[in-house]
Each structure stands twice: as structure tokens, then as C-alpha cells.
Amino acid sequence: MPTAPEALQAAATAIRVLTVDAVRAAGIGHVGLPLGCAEIGSVLFSEFLKHDPADPKWFDRDRFVLSAGHGSMLLYSLLHLSGYEVSLEDIGQFRQLGSNTPGHPEVGHTPGVETTTGPLGQGVGNAVGFALAERLLAERFGEGVVNHRTYALASDGDMMEGVASEAASLAGHLRLGKLIVIYDDNGITIDGKTDVAFKEDTAKRFEAYGWHVQKIDGHDPEQIRTALKNAGANEEKPHLIVAKTQIGFSSPKVGTNTAHGHLSDADVDATRLGLKWELTPFKLLDTAYEAFKPVRARGKQEHEAWQKRLDAALAKPELKELWERMVERKLPANLDALFPDFSKEKAMATRQASGKIINALAAEVPSLIGGSADLAGSNNTTISGSKVVAYGDFAGRNLAFGVREHGMGAIANGLVLHGGIRPYVATFLVFSDYMRPSIRLASLMDLPVTYVFTHDSIFVGEDGPTHQPVEHVAALRTIPNLQVWRPGDARETVAAWRGALLRTGGPTALALTRQNLEPFEGPGIEEKARRGGYVLLDAAEPELVIVATGSEVSISLEAAKTLNG
């Protein structure tokens, strides 16, 4: 039901005033997007978004991603107006150390924030991951249990970033029809008018990806409403809503790149005057909340109805177990027993061991869903007996990402953030660079993504220097909260995969070989390797200590034996 026009306008005005006040108080920040998208945000959060502010983690809520994370004051304002635990006092602490309203939205830090954004393009990729997770889980649990939309608000910068292009192409391919991206087409970037560097026809580009595209005036609530309704009525294609807006709307700097950042005191005062807002900072009239009044009750009602459907569905023991395994992340009690026993195997590449491990675990760890950026065969990532996920067929567990490493990384983050999926994604180690910004964000967000990086060293040989990783393991090790394993034989690969699976607070990178490696001798290698490092060959009074990982361990062992005479 559409909100009364006055109520909606009061909400939009409140967003604008909170934004200029918060950015003024912080002395730094970005007013442009919140001022430009206040109507979009108000209509979306008050009329369309399925959410229960009393339980920001409700599993079947619609997801909202502010891909243009610098516009964080829009999100904080909307969360406050909707009734999340973001108070006016919190907003008064915008960008202060320890506040729950940081400069860019951070998941896990502020109730209602779904993902950490700021580095442009990533949020669009995350949103594709959310929408893909939704389809994968709806297929497994039914649409009574999983059936929600994913919304994202993106800026010009998001549209220019390659990671978003890659993810958008894959979303079109998979026809993720419950994904709705609103593009804040304000024609301004930090350096000035976008046409200084960006004249493409973005709407046409997204049509080429297989998206349904609408163009609207982003300040007209009725047009926003109609576009969102149309998008909701067509689930055959993902949706791009190109919303023409004026950056910094209602401020004296409207339509200029000055409005991207923060406003002068005089401009803040003029903005407030223009909006007829005479209250002290961080105070709102009751009318500001009018449009959002139905939100909590509606959310509660929908949530309760869903809970009943969930309870009914989980009456089936197999679905209950699946729910525990996937959504509640419960690992099988006999996890260690599930790993293959490599103790009697001959020389084997660790990528091959990894492939056997994935397949050995697959049946009991149904959340393990993953794939490769067009190197599934080389990366040994295919779950045999399972199909490639495709439009109309989301039952499979093999994801074909195409040659889109960066999009894959951002989508994997969205799969974890959604919940229910424990993704592994793969490419050659040398191409880990292509997805590094997403790996960094997974680390920052504590997301247990597993990266299967094969062809781990100069032993790839004849493909030459473009394909020989030299610095990549060292470079990955510099990322805080990323765990990097470089197993030296098949049994160490068990330890590595076990570490990845048991980890809940961050991602794991596995650097695996193409070439065969001799197995280490002796018992308990799987257990020893869990420590990260251990002694393979000892001497009473060593004159020389050789330290090695992965590809080089068996060579080093040989060297040590030779040196020992």
C-alpha cells in the first residue's frame, strides 16, 4: 500500500537533514548520495523491503546492499527510521571510533547492515551472491521457506568497475530474477561530471547481459513504486532500475561534485532552511516516522507466518538435518572419518587430493557448493554426480563462474553472507591477484570462503612466467585474517581442508600443486600438519635448518637426505 505523499516526503526530508547534520558533526563524509536517493530509500524500506527490524537476522528477509558504501548515511537513516537499533545518538556519532555508524557500512557491526561496502563494485557482486544463494536454497527447502528478493543501490562508480560487470553478466546468465539493482544515475563522480570518462549506454549494456531495464526519475515516489512493482512482477530476468537523480538534492550544491563530499556550514544551514527544518541537530519530528509505522508490524507478521512454514517444513527429518547442516552450519560429528585415507597412496598432486576430499565430503556437507573460473578440470573442483547450476536448475552443486575471477570472489562473499552456503571457489594461484580485493573483504568480514588455488609454483613450467606464481603465496600471507595453507602432500591437504572447514571466522586459501608430490613417510601427518609447521626430518645437532612448504618440501627432504650422506 503506497504511503501518503506527505509522510513519504517527511521521511525523505528526515534522511536529508540527518545526513547533513551527521556529516557536519563528523567534519568529513559524503552527503551526495543520501540527499539524491532519499525518496528511493524511503519508498523501498517503507513499502517494498520485506524485513523485521526486531530481528535483523531473520533468514528469509529481503537483503539490501548499499554498494555505494560511501553513502552510508542513507542506510543509517533508513535503519533508524525503520526501527533497527540505530539511534539518533548513534547517528550523532557518525564516523567516530567505536560508534556503530562507521564511515562505510560494516557487516557485523551495525544491525541491519548486510555487507561491508566502500570499495566500489563489490556490493553488486555480493548482491549477485545473495540472489544466487536464495535460488540454491529455495530449490532445496522450497519457496515457503526461502523466497526473498535482493536489492542493491549502486553508483556510477559501481557501474564502471569490472567486478560488477563480471557479476552482472553471470546474474543475467543465471537469470536471477529476484535481484533488483537500482542505479543512482546522478551524472557526477568525485572528479566531476561522469561524462569526463563515462559516456556508455549503461541501460543497453545491462540489456546485453540479459537484464530487464527500466528508467525512472529517482525523485518521483510514484515512478519508483511502479518500477519496483514491475521488477517484482517479472522474475525471469534480473532488474536494473536506472534512476535519474540529482546528487546533493535540496542542498545549494545540488548537481555538482562538491556535493559528493561534505558541505560547508553555510550550505548545511541553507539546506536545513530550504527543508524548513528548525529543530536542533539529531532531533526528528514524529512525522518523520509516519511512513515507517507499518514496517515493524508487517515484518513481525511476515516473520511469524514464515516461522510456521519453516516449522512445518522441518517436520520432515531430512529437511531438518539439511537445515542444520546448511543454515546452522553444523558439521558432521564424524568429520575426520569422512576424509579420504591417503596413507597408502603413491605420489599425487595436491590438487588431485583436494578434488578427492571435496568429493568425499560432499554427501555429508551439503553446504559445500562451489566451482571455478573456467578451470574446473584443472582445479579439480567438480563434485561428481552433481550438475552445473543453471537457470531453471539450481539443484546442482557445481558453479560455473566463467572467466570471471573477481566477480567469483565477490559472489562467494555474498553466498557466505546470505547464509546456508559454504562456498569454495577456484582458479590458478597466479590469478588470485585478479580477485584479491574480494579476498581482502572476505578477510575483513570474517567470511569462511575457501579458495582453491592450484598450479602453485614455478613447477607449472612451460606455460612460462605469466602463469608461474612466484610472489603470490607471500602476498596472500600479508592479508590479515586470511589463512594460507600450502600442503606438501596429500595428507597435508587433508589438514588444510579440515582447517578450512572448521574455520568460522575468516577465509582460507589453499595453494595446491599441479605436479605430483611424493607422500611423506610416517604416521600422523594429517595431525602434525594442523599445527602449521613441524619437523619432518630431525637431527641431534643440526648444522643447517631447511624450511619449506608445499611443492618444495619433498625436494628439500631429498636435499636433506643427500646432505646427511
Q: Scanning residues 137 to 156, which ones bind a second copy (CB under 8 A)?
A: 156
211: left (phi over 0), alpha (psi -120 to 50) or beta: beta
114 makes contact with a second copy (CB under 8 A): no
DSSP output for 13-74:
HHHHHHHHHHHHHHT----HHHHHTHHHHHHIIIII----TT-TT-TTSPEEEESSGGGHHH
For the question of residue 405 being annotated catalytic, the response is: yes
Binding status of residue 328 toward a second copy by CB under 8 A: no
Tell whether residue 273 is a contact of a second copy (CB under 8 A): no
Per annotation, catalytic residue among 39, 106, 114, 405: 405
Strand 239-244 vs strand 212-217: parallel, antiparallel, or unpaired?
Answer: parallel
Nine-digit cell at 501? 572447514
Question: For residues 456 and 467, what is the distance between their CA atoms, to the nearest angstrom?
Answer: 10
Q: Give the helix ranges, DSSP H, for 144-209.
A: 156-160, 162-174, 202-209
Torsion angle (degrees, nearest 10) of CA 399, 442, 48, 112: 150
Compute the distance between CA of residue 384 and CA of residue 390 in angstroms, rounded to an integer. 16
Q: Looking at 116-124, 281-289, 329-337, 344-352, which segment touches a second copy (CB under 8 A)? A: 116-124
The distance of closest approach from Cβ of residue 470 to a second copy in the complex, given in angstroms and rounded to an integer, is 6
Select the residue interacting with a second copy from 39, 52, 60, 106 (CB under 8 A): 106
Residue by residue, DSSP assigns 500-537 as: HHH--SS-EEEE--SS-BPPPPSS-HHHHHTTS---SS
Query: Which ranges constitute the DSSP H helices of 314-404?
Result: 317-326, 335-338, 350-362, 376-379
Binding mask 9-38 for a second copy (x = CB under 8 A): -----------------x-x----------
- Cβ 173 to a second copy, closest distance in Å? 5
Per-residue binder mask for a second copy (CB under 8 A), 469-488, x = binder: -xx--xx--xxx--------
Q: Site size for a second copy, by CB under 8 A?
A: 84
Cβ closest to a second copy, residue 107 vs residue 182: 107
Interface residue with a second copy among 92, 232, 402, 419 (CB under 8 A) is 402
Contacts with a second copy in 408-447 (CB under 8 A)? 430-431, 433-434, 436-437, 440-441, 444
Name which position in 372, 380, 454, 483 contacts a second copy (CB under 8 A). 372
Q: How far is the CB of 208 from a second copy (least distance, A)?
A: 4
**Cα–Cα distance for residue pair 351/414, rounded to 1 Å:** 25
CA-based nearest residue to 152, from 129, 135, 175, 133 = 129
Q: Binding of a second copy at residue 116 (CB under 8 A)?
A: yes
Closest distance to a second copy from the beta carbon of 234 (Å): 18
Least distance to a second copy, CB of residue 64, Å: 18
By the rule CB under 8 A, 458 interacts with a second copy: no
| Residues 160 to 199 in contact with a second copy, rule: CB under 8 A | 160-166, 169-170, 172-173, 189-191, 194, 196-199
Which residues are 179's β-sheet partners? 150
Q: Catalytic residue numbers?
A: 405
